[in-house]
Structure 1
């Protein structure tokens, strides 16, 4: 196995694990214990109102971004979805708990977002739909390197910050 094929396999492994992990979170919001109504109630309770809207948007985005990254399809776009999702989760749920995941902090959110951005920067590799559909075209260069990284970060931050600015209303402190 050559370096290039090992690199492409490593990118495939990373994309599939990251992507299917994110997609599983979306699937769980749709079909897990509380389903969408339970997720909506939780979103309302953390200040993301209307909860039903955000439950559907979050679940759909998690599935779409997860599958898009796993398949390596227009890779910077699903990576931007990771950034937006993880920014909103970190800010609304985990920020007050500090960094470490053992205290329900934002560590895991950072790792998922950074890994997705790194994939956007390196490109999805040869074992991806990006390579299959776009290699040899001028468009392919937009899907990795500084372009891919910039698209993932800028779209992700705009999406996450925009969602927080428009919809997030922190719950009133009690006690």
Structure 2
């Protein structure tokens, strides 16, 4: 039988690490590795956003992805990802539902928004490195 006191922290961990890996992959592998920083910035400019926003998003995905994987400031990071995903949702809204279609649809950004809201509600879960979760006597040492 599932006991929410023992399974929920691990469910939150699974969601957190999954979201972190996806964000890291989008920032490091796709935006920097595949398209390059100049290509990413150029694409952002071509769709009407300031080109520098491409760099901001790429590095936010990398740093935010790492923070989620490690379990650092998970609620805050999850909420800070929302404007990025809303921007993606807006860009893909005219392409239909299915993300695998030409131009990508809006299903994936919409689901990612929902998953980030769930993560923000659940918190970090198990195995998080967030120093605020340490016992009071260990907080000072972890913050240093």
Do both share a fold (TM > 0.5)?
yes
Partner Cα separation in structure 2 for residue 128 and residue 17 of structure 1: 14
Tell me if the contact between 1:82 and 1:112 (Cα under 8 Å) persists in the aligned partners: no
Partner Cα separation in structure 2 for residue 119 and residue 82 of structure 1: 11
**Residue 19 of structure 1 pairs with residue 20 of structure 2:** yes
Deviation of 1:136 after TM superposition, in Å, equals 6.0
Give the RMSD, CA atoms, in angstroms. Answer: 2.1
Tell me if the contact between 2:19 and 2:68 (Cα under 8 Å) persists in the aligned partners: yes
Give the aligned partner of residue 46 of structure 2: 45
Equivalent of 2:97 in 83, 89, 99? 99
Which stretch shows the higher mean deviation, 115-124 or 99-108? 99-108
Residue 129 of structure 1 aligns to a residue whose secondary structure is: coil
Scaled by the length of structure 2, the TM-score of the pair is 0.80
Partner Cα separation in structure 2 for residue 25 and residue 11 of structure 1: 21
Deviation of 1:34 after TM superposition, in Å, equals 2.5
Scaled by the length of structure 1, the TM-score of the pair is 0.67
Q: What are the Cα deviations for residues 78-119 of structure 1, in whole angstroms up to 9, with x where unaligned?
A: 11232111101111x201113332432111001111111101
The runs of at least 4 aligned residues of structure 1 exceeding 3 Å deviation read: none
Give the aligned partner of residue 86 of structure 2: 87
Tell me if the contact between 2:75 and 2:124 (Cα under 8 Å) persists in the aligned partners: no
Tell me if the contact between 1:100 and 1:106 (Cα under 8 Å) persists in the aligned partners: yes
Partner Cα separation in structure 2 for residue 126 and residue 2 of structure 1: 16
Which stretch shows the higher mean deviation, 17-26 or 69-78? 69-78
Gaps of 5+ in 1: 138-175
Gaps of 5+ in 2: 137-144
